[in-house]
Structure 1
């Protein structure tokens, strides 16, 4: 900040003024050189555009496209972009001169006591004119305000990207969960059918005396227990489809028909490129938005400090008055004035310096928020790296366990059919197999959702242009017009019974 170096008179005007307050400088980011959970990750630039297409699921692609176009949270973010653009135009207008005009025509009377004639004097008076003013931005206060508005606009544009990133991740996660519930329902149905077949075999063996009534009851109970898992899965599936529908800006049941046919659980075909931790500073829209807001409130410090200095305004006026309409605006009726005016803030009770302190404290608040956002982004990536890698190991072991239980179930079923094994072995093998198969499905769902979470943490979102200039409502008849006739008030029961 330089105060004494700024001229106060015409020299400053000729040189275009100067700016007070701190300038925006690059922020010192607490970013490590490499990922602790993936130290050997490639350092090539990360490109995560349309990362969900790696699932190769056209239904998912279609729902994401629809959500981007119709989601209400994204629509709100687009409206905020339009709001920020209008605010920036308002700030830019303060740097330009202002011009206003006025005109009037009136019938007036002068009392006889004032006119000296002893009788009242009636006459017409026509007047009009223009007033102009231009505040010379000597110390850059208006320019700092415009700079703050520009940074606020950039931050809101990043907020739109963040809304799209969150939306795509939520849609992908919900879609994966829905397909997962379908797979678990199918597994429960096929397992229950197999268990019902075993129960029928046990019933036949009981009828010929080679099995007990206890075995028959246990077989039927196991099948019923497996079938009991299906209704909660169906409820969870329907609720997930309802959430997907709302994310696309539609009624909860809008996607029910499209999601009814079962499809495989989406599986990522290749790993995501991690890049370097420093890439998050430009890839994560929430980090970018937080940085822009630091710049916004840094500029507002300059705007507050400019109020401590004199204000120079150039004003001008042109007016005319005439008693007859035909004399209006003749040279003989014209009056004009122009010149500078200087406003000096001698004493304001400390409010101006308090405004500067307030602006500095607010800037520090957003600087700390930016640092916290960076650390949160780093933690998100590290957490999702370890979650995804460990879930893959978990799934590998579950697959081995499932294969073992499948073999055990097959052998126990064969031995039981030949009478060489007790039903308890069959019961235990079938229960263990179903549990292992269902756990493997849950792990596959977790791998896919962890993949989505990592893509979000790395800043993968929508990279195509989004229209944020078209308003949601196209207003008509904005020119002056008669207001519509208000509807007649409806009668209530109280009006009917009131005496």
Structure 2
């Protein structure tokens, strides 16, 4: 077979994702979402990683999204189409056989034969079998099959990428929904407290204990707090619409299910895949690899097009004037033809096509390398986020506690005339900001964990995402690029990660 024999590129020769040889655990805070988290190298990612949050509602959301979202079904059908195309392409490797049976009633005049007399009337029965077989001398057809199967592999990981993005978006949206609900509830509680404070200040103003300026300052503070509610409510409403879209529902079909941040559990052990495994786990890397594989096979196809094409065309038939004589030796006729075609001059079109495919392969290889770099960056970013956002939550929890104590102290001091009312106003605003920041920091810790699971590939190798929508009708057989053949039956298969990959044979 002409052209390069594709082999997956090796993983980067690094032992970790960060400069430190050992990752520092995420620190703990004694509130919801503040559990300590340790990084465990080589720990496998579960196929249903979202269950680590111990939330029946999140589990229900994900199951509904996978079951109902049109993008999942579209990806399944795209995979089936690619597999059917691969099987169809493979059919070119076997002889193409056609049969023909015909009956003709014909009258021939004597004049057409150069004589005189009555016309000749007869029936002619014909049966023939024609065979066309393209000899794949240089492997061009086999490279076409390889390209089609690489395309099927691309669609398979396109489906996995769709599945991973959908599940991660559902979990993140559910967490954000819970965070916004808590922010709204906290803001409403602060509005209630500030309203009560306004009534007290107004009573004090009525008896001459405070100035009109103090009343106006409290009114302004209350109005500012109330003004923060509509943006939060808008975010919640739009976030609900997005969540409904992920679930495959229309906005009007919202049944009000939600997740409370306090009910979630942070996984104590976080997986950190080995760098050598990440390139086999990330769907986007496998997509880029399949694209490169398809480009390499196309180089082989275009190289074979520069060489002679060999075709065999045997034919066997029989003619008779009656059905009974149709298959007698006297009626048999056969031909055996061989054909060789070589383009002699085409303005270098075939050669330039081959050279363009070589450049396309090199482009895809560069894009593959870029995808790998981005994937490693994603993992490193997620690891850093888990570490530093844990520290942020601890600081925000302390800030909220201090702000509350400061507010209580300012209110007590104001009662005895030790401070002006401006100090109370400042303490109220500081406490409000601290509460909202703490809730946001809680949600961020959960979202960081989601991002880490997503950046590590989402554990697709530990589950079967395919349905009958993704598999060829009436079974089939596809040879996968990972080595073992993949049986494309109606029951599906469990994909496995190959143990290792050798260096890729670069093109000349």
Measure how far apart 1:215 and its partner are.
1.9
Relative to 1, partners in 2 of residues 1:43 and 1:192: Cα closer, same or farther, differing over 3 Å?
closer
SS at match of 1:268: coil
2:136 aligns with: 137
Are 1:168 and 1:461, in contact at CA under 8 Å, matched by a contact in 2?
no
Deviations 1:319-346 (A, max 9, x none): 2223344443343222122354333444
Cα distance, 1:189 vs. partner?
A: 0.7
Q: Which residue of 1 is the match for residue 153 of structure 2?
A: 154
How far is the alpha carbon of 1:198 from its aligned partner? Answer: 0.7
Aligned to 1:32: 14
432 and 401 in structure 1: CA distance in 2 versus 1, 3 angstrom threshold: same
Task: Provide the C-alpha distance between the structure 2 equivalents of 1:418 and 1:360, rounded to a whole number of angstroms.
Answer: 84
Q: Please show how residues 246-257 of structure 1 align to structure 2 within 5 Å.
A: 246-257=245-256
Question: Aligned partners of 1:165, 1:31: CA distance in 2, in Å?
Answer: 27
Counterparts of 1:178-217 in structure 2 under 5 Å?
Answer: 178-217=177-216
Q: Secondary structure at the match of 1:273?
A: strand
Residues 377 and 428 of structure 1: CA distance in aligned 2, closer, same or farther (over 3 Å): same
Per-residue deviation, residues 90-122 of structure 1 (Å, max 9, x unmatched): 121011111101122233332442132255444
Output aligned runs, 1:141-290, within 5 Å: 141-259=140-258, 264=262, 266=264, 268-290=266-288
1:147 Cα deviation (Å)? 1.8
**Cα drift, residue 40 of structure 1:** 0.7
Give the corresponding residue for 2:301: 303
1:139-169 CA-partner distances (Å, limit 9, x unpaired): 2221222122222222221221111111111
Instruction: Give yes or no for contact 2:40–2:270 (8 Å, CA) kept in 1.
Output: no
Task: Give the equivalent residue in structure 1 for 2:41.
Answer: 44
User: What is the CA distance between 1:471 and its match in structure 2?
Assistant: 6.9
Q: Given the two structures, how large is their TM-score scaled by the length of structure 2?
A: 0.83
Q: Any conservation in 1 of the 2:191–2:226 contact (CA below 8 Å)?
A: yes
**C-alpha separation in 2, matches of 1:37 and 1:185:** 40
User: Which secondary structure state, in structure 2, belongs to the residue aligned with residue 467 of structure 1?
Assistant: coil
Q: How far is the alpha carbon of 1:354 from its aligned partner?
A: 2.2
User: 2:12 touches 2:276 (CA, 8 Å); kept in 1?
Assistant: no
Once the 2 structures are TM-superposed, how far is the Cα of residue 128 of structure 1 from its aligned partner?
A: 2.4
| 1:434 Cα deviation after fit | 0.5
Aligned-pair distance for 1:193?
0.6
- Equivalent residue, structure 2, for 1:321: 319
Q: How does 1:321-340 map to 2 (within 5 A)?
A: 321-340=319-338
Q: Please tell me whether the aligned partners of residues 241 and 253 of structure 1 are also in contact (alpha carbons under 8 angstroms).
A: no
1:427 counterpart residue number: 425
Query: SS at the partner of 2:253?
Result: coil
Q: TM-score, normalised by structure 1?
A: 0.84
Deviation at 1:73, TM superposition (A): 1.9
CA separation in 2, counterparts of 1:293 and 1:121?
Answer: 66
Partner SS state of residue 300, structure 1: helix
C-alpha contact 1:37 1:382 (8 A) present in aligned 2: no
Number of aligned residue pairs: 454
Measure how far apart 1:357 and its partner are. 1.2
Between the aligned partners of 1:379 and 1:299, the Cα distance in structure 2 is: 30
Of the three residues 58, 61, 81, the one matched with 2:59 is 61
| Alignment correspondent of 1:457 | 455
Q: Distance in 2 between matches of 1:376 and 1:267?
A: 29
Distance in 1, matches of 2:407 and 2:201, equals 15
Displacement, 1:211? Answer: 2.0
Contact 2:99 2:129 (8 Å CA) reproduced = yes
RMSD, matched Cα: 2.4
The residue number in structure 1 matching 2:106 is 108
Q: 1:29–1:371: 8 Å Cα contact kept in structure 2?
A: no
Change (3 A) 1:240 1:31: farther
**How much has 1:28 moved relative to structure 2?**
4.6
